[in-house]
Amino acid sequence: MKNNIAVWFVVGFLAGAATIFAAISIVPSSAIAFPTEVRLVTNPQLEAEQVRLLRNFSDAIDSMKEQFTEASDDADESMLQSDLQTVRSQIELYKVQHLDAVPDTSTSAAFVTCLTAQTNQAGGTGTDYGPYLQKMPTNPFNNKSDIKFGDVPSTTFDSGWYFDKVLKKLAPNDNATHAAL
């Protein structure tokens, strides 16, 4: 009886790299079915190793996500503080040029217009002063740029910014920690 060589290939996926395993055996020609059939060869030890490596890979990815999240939060914190400092300094410049008056606090839009358009000394439309900002910055922690106004610190944290009319001070309005800045 004539023997033929039959080859079975197994292609596996292991941590992003294709791996090929081959099993070669000599079988009688009568045992070979045509067209050629493909048989998957399983190896419990190899499967266990693949599972272990995939779990390690998954743990490494989770660790990297945490590091990127921390870096993103740090960047947001820096951006918030930088934007706050910029807007506060521009409000102070506005006050110097407008006889110690703050921008119009009747609405968020009126306040922003005073800072982003040219004004006269009385704070109305003019060409004497400004603009102080291109646009009101967005609070990176809640993606809002609107402003709420009041006489006491905000406790609702539902706008991008809060302007205390008594203290004449702008603060972030996304949480208590930032509101205290």
Q: What is the 3-state secondary structure (H, E, C) of the chain?
A: CCEEEEEEEEEEEECCEEEEEEEEEEEEHHHCCCCCCCCCCCCHHHHHHHHHHHHHHHHHHHHHHHHHHHHHHHHHHHHHHHHHHHHHHHHHHHHHHCCCCCCCCCCHHHHHHHHHCCECCCCCECCCECCCCCCCCCECCCCECCEEEECCCCCCCCCCEEEECCCCEEEECCCHHHHCC
Tell me: do 89 and 41 sit in the same domain.
no
Q: How many domains does the chain have?
A: 2
| pLDDT tens-digit map of 39-98 | 555 677 777 777 787 788 778 777 777 777 777 788 999 999 999 999 999 999 999 999
**Residue 87 sits in which domain range?**
76-179
Question: Is there a domain that residue 104 lies in?
Answer: yes
The per-residue pLDDT for range 6-45, each reduced to its tens digit, is 444 444 444 444 444 444 444 454 555 445 554 555 677 7
Residue 57 lies in a domain: no
In a domain, 96, yes or no: yes
Q: Is residue 55 part of a domain?
A: no
In a domain, 164, yes or no: yes
Residues 13 and 83 in one domain: no
